[in-house]
Amino acid sequence: MKGWMYILECSDGSYYTGSTNNLELRIKQHQAGEGANHTKKRLPVKLIFSEEFQRIDLAFYREKQVQGWSRKKKEALMNGHFDKLSDLSRSYSTVVSTSSTTGSRASTTGVSTSSTTGSRASGTNGSYGI
């Protein structure tokens, strides 16, 4: 069963990323206030980007991937600036410090993201490999 990952722009300018096996129906549901809490509080919404996949599970995976992206990285995707995606990847660092009567300590943990290759997806602004 085919699937789609999509990005909506809400009335307040925020983005909502979702996935579905029926894009037309899902957009109608969002517009009718039957979608996610985020969108029904920010109507109307406008479909600004979608990618089609051969299977719904691939669309769901892509949804979760894109949901973790910054606004700028989502905009690069929507505008077809695929060469900028890796530069816009976040590298997280968490600094945890604790204090006690014997002193303090800090530790840093770095987590980086990477992109996958293989499947071919079709966006509204062109095609590319993910």
The pTM of the full predicted model, rounded to 2 decimals, is 0.69
Q: Could you give the CA distance from residue 114 to residue 130 in angstroms, rounded to a whole number? A: 11
Indicate whether 129 pLDDT > 50: no
Q: Could you give the CA distance from residue 73 to residue 130 in angstroms, rounded to a whole number? A: 14
Query: For residue 31, what is the domain's CATH number?
Result: 3.40.1440
Is residue 17, in this structure, part of any structural domain at all?
A: yes
Is residue 19, in this structure, part of any structural domain at all?
A: yes
Q: Which residue has the higher pLDDT, 55 or 129?
A: 55
Mean pLDDT, rounded, for 22-35: 94
Q: Name the nearest CA neighbour of 49 among 22, 21, 20, 74.
A: 74
Q: Which domain holds residue 8?
A: 3-87+116-129
Q: Which residue has the higher pLDDT, 29 or 99?
A: 29
| The pLDDT of residue 117 | 30
Q: Could you give the CA distance from residue 41 to residue 74 in angstroms, rounded to a whole number? A: 22
Which class for 58: exposed (0-12), middle (13-18), buried (19 or more C-beta within 10 A)? Answer: buried
Is residue 99, in this structure, part of any structural domain at all?
A: no
What total of structural domains would you count in the chain?
Answer: 1
| The pLDDT of residue 50 | 97
Is residue 96, in this structure, part of any structural domain at all?
A: no
What backbone phi and psi angles, to 5 degrees, belong to 14?
-75, 160
Is residue 111, in this structure, part of any structural domain at all?
A: no
Give 91's pLDDT tier (boundaries 50, 70, 90). Answer: low
How many CA atoms within 13 Å lie on the side-chain side of 102?
1
CA 28 to chain centre: 20
Is residue 94, in this structure, part of any structural domain at all?
A: no
| The pLDDT of residue 5 | 98
**Mean pLDDT estimate for the chain:** 77
Indicate whether 105 pLDDT > 50: no
Is residue 30, in this structure, part of any structural domain at all?
A: yes
Q: What is the pLDDT of residues 29-78, one digit of tens each?
A: 999 999 889 999 999 999 999 999 999 999 999 999 999 999 999 999 99
Q: Could you give the CA distance from residue 7 to residue 47 in angstroms, rounded to a whole number? A: 6
